Amino acid sequence: MEQLSVTRAFEGDLHRYKHSSSSTSTNMVFAIYLPPQAKNHPVPVVYWLSGLTCTDENFTQKAGAFKMAAQLGLAIVCPDTSPRGLDLPGEHDSYDFGSGAGFYVDATSSPWSDHYRMYSYVVDELPTLIEGSFPVSGKKAISGHSMGGHGALVIYLRNPGAYTSVSAFAPVVHPTAVPWGQKAFQRYLGDDKSLWDSYDATLLVQQAEISDPILIDQGSSDSFLEEQLQPDHFKTACARANVPLTLNLRAGYDHSYYFISSFIDSHLEFHAHKLID
């Protein structure tokens, strides 16, 4: 790994690294905040998955999460949202596909399948790297925003027992039924709809056996609410499967980091209940 920067925050340190990824066959960048407690003992980790167009820096610079993370003794890991530097045909043509829009899937269609393997990167490669390189425990939770909320829910549901808890802000909960997901899945995964279904939280949760609650916050003034997000689909599926869900509809809030920064503390506290003995 190559360290790109280190910045002190609330007596802890925010590190940024670049490394060669076997999942994407590219260099990948991630950030990790280590709270002050990490100087004395291993700490649990919250993995944060960002949304369309974002990098690791959107969360680290805008969410305002480090004060609470320092108080609770939580590390936070923020990966990028896609491979970078490839210049594949059409990769940079739109904000909702390609660069900055990996959708946390393992692509199966060419040319994306050689590099756009963000599911494997987040689930397997990155935690192995983090746990082998930093003073963290094996306990981890996952959260995210928008496309990253989709990724967090899918990863949690597909890997029972691997994460203590999951939460999301304005997640894409039913990607097979909305334009963002349909566009990405058609190009990354091709015509095999069974592959699409395996990355759809609303479909996955109906087959899950979960007793721990899922936490979602959604702004009522989010411009993407009706067309792209549709949290009621996930709420209905959770009810049918008897999966406990707390879905907070926050009056007047939009899709931005103003919304995230307003409620990030409650999400970290939610995860801390499971992460910290």
Q: Mind telling me the catalytic residues?
A: 146, 222, 255
Phi then psi for 230, rounded to 5 degrees?
45, 60
Is the Cβ–Cβ distance between 161 and 272 less than 8 Å? no
Is the Cβ–Cβ distance between 136 and 45 less than 8 Å? yes
CA distance 214 to 143: 10
Query: Of 128, 187, 122, 183, which is closest to residue 154 (Cα–Cα)?
Result: 122
Is the Cβ–Cβ distance between 66 and 33 less than 8 Å? yes
Query: Of 253, 259, 198, which is closest to residue 222 (Cα–Cα)?
Result: 253
CA distance 150 to 169: 9
All residues at 6 or more sequence positions from 52 whose CB lies less than 8 Å from its CB, including other chains: 81, 95, 96, 100, 101, 146, 147, 180
